[in-house]
Structure 1
Amino acid sequence: MDGKDPVKVIRGALSRALVFYYPFAGRLREMAGRKLVVECTGEGVLFIEAEAELSLQQFGDTLHPPFPWMEELLYDVPGSGGVGSLLAGHALEVRRVHLLSPPQSHMSDTVGLVQFMSAAGELARGAEAPSIQPVWQRDRLNARDPPDVFFTHREYDDVPDAKGTLTPLEDKVHHSFFGAAELSTLRSRLPPYLRRCSTFDLLTACLWRCRTIAISPDPNEEIRILTTVEFRRRFNPSLPPGYYGNAAAFSTAITTAGSLRVFS
């Protein structure tokens, strides 16, 4: 790539990737009944080139949160109306808009976005087409009409913070402190039948319990944790390879503070 402008290379690759992922180049429109559709207008995405007086070495050996100079690298495009932007150079930033609460993207989830960016990377390196062909096929996830609800969906409960136990985002400190040694220690403390659980489950359970102990709520107070579950392979048959839509659903675990604090 000597002698080539990385911005032109990345911009060209993204333009070509948007041909395959054409809905990303369109616009969301709200129809009757608050139904969102994609208008394939071909308007494309915002693309901004910027320069910074920084080198990659200044970020340190390990690139993990909290990331230095994050606010300087993020760019809000004036007048964009909240449309996500792409910032390209020797570093590439991708921004997208979340329109739900809890936050969730309408057009694709993280897996789909990574698939799109991988395709752009392949095209930047000279490929004629992505190695994984994108699959739109949103009709595979059409909701029943009328809806057929099998159980109460507690993940959508509106839970007021009546006791002031929710910490405002601006009062939180973002820090990374779990490594291989800490994870190994945590796993060794589990009963044998749980030691094959995922790292995500292990950390989530640990932090959920530690936070509950730290805020010392009433033992009978209901405590919950909300996360998302990716379900591409959970269908029978599973969603086709290359499906880049939103294939994630909210899931919640609910118990009492006393139950979380009693285990050792």
Structure 2
Amino acid sequence: MKVAVRNSCLVQPAEPTWSGSMPLSEIDQLGVLSHTPSIYVYRPPQDWAAPPRRIFETLRSSLSKALVIFYPLAGRLRWLPGSRLELDCNAGGARLIEAESGATLDDLGDFSPSPEYADLIPQVNYSTPMAEIPILLVQITKFRCGGVSLTCNTSHVVADGQSMLHFLFEWAALARGAAAGPPPVLDRRFLRAGEPAASGRRSDFGRELFDPPPVLIGETSDAGERRKETAVARLKLTAAQVENLKREANRTRTDGGGAAVKRPYTKFESIGGHIWRCASKARRHAAAQPTTLEICMDVRKHFHRLPPPPRKFFGNGVMDVFARGRSGEITAAPLGHAAALIREAIDSVTGDYVESMIDYWKGIEDFSQLQDLKGPGTNDGAFYGNPNLRFISWLGLPLHGLDFGWGKEIFMGPGAHDCDGDLLVIPSSDGDGSVTVAVCLQVACMEDFKKVFYEDLPFNSRL
């Protein structure tokens, strides 16, 4: 898809903001250091009258106001000794790009993430010095049919999904001329950045957390799997299908070792277990194949020994946890077994676990081996492709209804999703209980995955 850039500028806060160095928490700067893109697509109403120029000016003016409130997004990151990062709040500005496309929204199909749509996303040149890279890049693209897409590419070091949604909805309110809501809490000391590690605290997490993901039996590395071509699909589960998956998982409910458990499995655990089983089948693993499901988990509620981060805390409050099993057991056992492995990983994350993890990270002198600095589509860092999966859930997040003055979006989703093993569960925008599973797998596995994904649903949910 060809996109022509018409304008590009740095948008700085409309008023002076606090300036200086803001320490980052260990959670902020461990893991993926690249930008995370998301996309909103809007179909214009029949009375659409705002010319592209006015749309751009509205966005620029309101973004300038929003950056007064969310001023860390206007700053820059810089390296410290030991491959640590800090945030320089210098009002450097966010990049805003205006573009046009000769395509129509219908050309986007079902809006599945695709390399074909890369030009809709503001790109980041990671060969540029870190101190020169904007933390936030936004692109508004006008289509021939009059529709628009709005894509944001945000440094995950500065904010996670929950924090960015707070920013986006406040920005949209300002664009509509409405008053801003409660301001974000920018003090990152809630996650104890820069404070000494507590003495005598036991390490409540397992050291296997830092083990590399398993590779295919008979292979010594993941190099071959990294090179294989991938495909992306968006698979819908109706509300009835989701409920039947939960019912099936709970009908066969165990603790992973065969003992019955009382607490019902959640929608997340049931869908995750189903996907894990289907992927292992589609990949045709040997029965003894070790496989890991990486789970991105919000840990804000797990800070018990300290004042927990407030609801409007702006930063990162997510950590990765890992469910582990063997493909033969996962595929042969009922759905409740896979759900139990996911439950076990999630339940391991206690307040002690999170605080012990942060203490451990604080004692590391060189972060470079624990960081993944990459751009979308690269193969750097830990590989959670075959035989593994990376599972992210947007269930429960306020994703939908982002209105900048031209109505609510017709689609919201990830801007890039092109690494083998990536999974994202997105709730329906109409609140009917259905979900969409965005999945990226190797081309050789995708058709088998789609087939078994629906064939393995409980019988009364396939209709």
User: Fold match, TM over 0.5?
Assistant: yes
Higher relative contact order (CA 8 A, sep 6+): 2
Choose the corresponding residue for 2:250, options 191, 201, 211.
191
The percent identity for this pair of structures is: 24
Shift of 1:66: 4.1
**SS of alignment partner, residue 93 of structure 1:** strand
Residues 59, 68 of structure 1: 8 Å contact kept: no
Matches of 2:56 and 2:63, distance apart in 1: 10
Choose the corresponding residue for 2:140, options 88, 101, 122.
88
Choose the corresponding residue for 1:159, options 188, 191, 213.
213
Matches of 1:169 and 1:122, distance apart in 2: 44
The answer for the alignment partner of 2:102 in structure 1 is 53
- 1:33 and 2:82 are equivalent in the alignment: yes
Shift of 1:88: 2.0
Deviates more, 1:40-49 or 1:28-37: 28-37
Q: Which amino acid aligns with 1:96?
A: T
Shift of 1:19: 0.7
**SS of alignment partner, residue 178 of structure 1:** strand
The answer for the alignment partner of 2:297 in structure 1 is 229
Shift of 1:173: 1.7
Unaligned ranges ≥5, structure 2:
1-47, 142-147, 254-262, 335-463
Matches of 1:216 and 1:54, distance apart in 2: 39
Q: Which amino acid aligns with 1:255?
A: G
Choose the corresponding residue for 2:315, options 227, 241, 245.
245
Residues 154, 252 of structure 1: 8 Å contact kept: no
Alignment of 1:88-237 (within 5 A): 88-89=140-141, 90-97=148-155, 105-128=156-179, 130-142=180-192, 145-146=196-197, 148=201, 149-159=203-213, 161=215, 163=217, 167-168=225-226, 171-180=229-238, 181-192=240-251, 197-236=265-304, 237=307
Unaligned ranges ≥5, structure 1:
98-104
Choose the corresponding residue for 1:20, options 69, 72, 80.
69
Q: Which amino acid aligns with 2:188?
A: R
Matches of 1:66 and 1:34, distance apart in 2: 32
Q: Which amino acid aligns with 2:150?
A: L
Q: Which amino acid aligns with 1:179?
A: L
Deviates more, 1:158-167 or 1:110-119: 158-167
Q: Which amino acid aligns with 2:186?
A: W
Residues 290, 327 of structure 2: 8 Å contact kept: yes
Residues 155, 250 of structure 1: 8 Å contact kept: no
Matches of 1:19 and 1:36, distance apart in 2: 23
Shift of 1:256: 2.4
Deviates more, 1:34-43 or 1:64-73: 64-73
Shift of 1:32: 2.6
Higher share in strand: 2
Matches of 1:154 and 1:134, distance apart in 2: 35
Q: Which amino acid aligns with 2:160?
A: D
TM-score between the two structures when normalised by the length of structure 1: 0.81
Matches of 2:137 and 2:207, distance apart in 1: 34
CA distance 1:146–1:199, change in 2 (3 Å): same
CA distance 1:162–1:68, change in 2 (3 Å): closer
Residues 214, 291 of structure 2: 8 Å contact kept: no
Deviates more, 1:72-81 or 1:182-191: 72-81
Q: Deviations over 1:87-108 (max 9, x none)?
A: 02532110134xxxxxxx2111
Deviates more, 1:201-210 or 1:40-49: 201-210
Shift of 1:209: 1.4
- 1:262 and 2:350 are equivalent in the alignment: no
Q: Which amino acid aligns with 2:79?
A: E
Residues 75, 88 of structure 2: 8 Å contact kept: yes
Residues 122, 138 of structure 2: 8 Å contact kept: no
Q: Deviations over 1:108-161 (max 9, x none)?
A: 101111111111001101134x21311111111126734752232433322363
Matches of 2:244 and 2:227, distance apart in 1: 29
Matches of 2:99 and 2:126, distance apart in 1: 18
CA distance 1:36–1:72, change in 2 (3 Å): closer
Please report the RMSD computed on the Cα atoms of aligned residues, expressed in angstroms.
Answer: 3.0
The answer for the alignment partner of 1:71 in structure 2 is 118
**SS of alignment partner, residue 115 of structure 1:** helix
